[in-house]
Amino acid sequence: MIAAALSLVVTLSPAQAAPLEPVVVAIAVRNREKQAVTVESPSADLFFLQIRDDQIRDDQIRDEHGRARFDSRTGHKPIAIRRKMTFARGTTPLASFVWSGLGDDQRPLDGPAGYVVRVGIETAGGTIGGEASLRLTAPITIKAALAETSHNSVTVAGRPLPQSGGPPLLQDDSGSIALSRPLGFLPQGRFLVRGHVERTSSGVSFSVERSAPAPDNVTPFGSIAPRPSASALPK
């Protein structure tokens, strides 16, 4: 049977990442048979990928890990084109996928927490699968980011504060730092921000590479209330 002959080898780089840090998922097919194995797939999709909570819930099958926080098939309709793939004996590299750190709701998966990266190939004979464990660390404090001596990217969390006549600030319980750019239109509430500390002759700032509202930030962006229009006075 195909399910017994083939499996997926899933490798993560890095296997422990900060929130919003891209994770490269390398996928290979392992054929344990002595000869090549051919499988038929029902769609043009090469594989699907999920990031799942590393928990077993009572209302789910015991071999399922929690709920899917990210699914590569969300919002995507597979093209129904049947195709065949042949895999030689041994391990064959298949593809790589770069996960952005965001869930299906476009919010970052927060840490510290464990997750399971599950990959599957749908075939006429069943699903070929494989998985790997992923650990997300907590964002570091602004104070810790300021203490960094390298130019490496880090992820911090805090609340953006506008400054009149100056760059926006990001603030947490340990301190604040100027941001290289705003985090959107009237950002409010907690944000996760990935970037690196820049030290120049004009001062210290945090060069923003990526940012997203924290998972618990329900209303991340404000709005300007419309001013009442002028109306003619009654005669």
Question: What residues in the chain have per-residue pLDDT under 50?
Answer: 57-63
Starting at the edge strand found earlier in the chain, the sheet holding 16-17 runs 16-17, 126-136, 113-123, 48-53, 68-71
Instruction: Write out pLDDT tens, residues 165-207.
Output: 788 999 999 999 999 999 999 999 999 999 999 998 888 999 9
- Six-digit token pair at 17? 């990442």
What's residue 142's pLDDT?
Answer: 98
Question: What per-residue confidence (pLDDT) applies to 60?
Answer: 46
The pLDDT value given to residue 32: 92
Per-residue confidence (pLDDT) for residue 82, from 0 to 100: 82
Q: Which residues of 54-66 are buried (b: 16+ CB within 10 A; e: fewer)?
A: eeeeeeeeeebbb
Domains of the chain with bracketed CATH: 2-136 (2.60.40.2360), 142-213 (2.40.50.200)
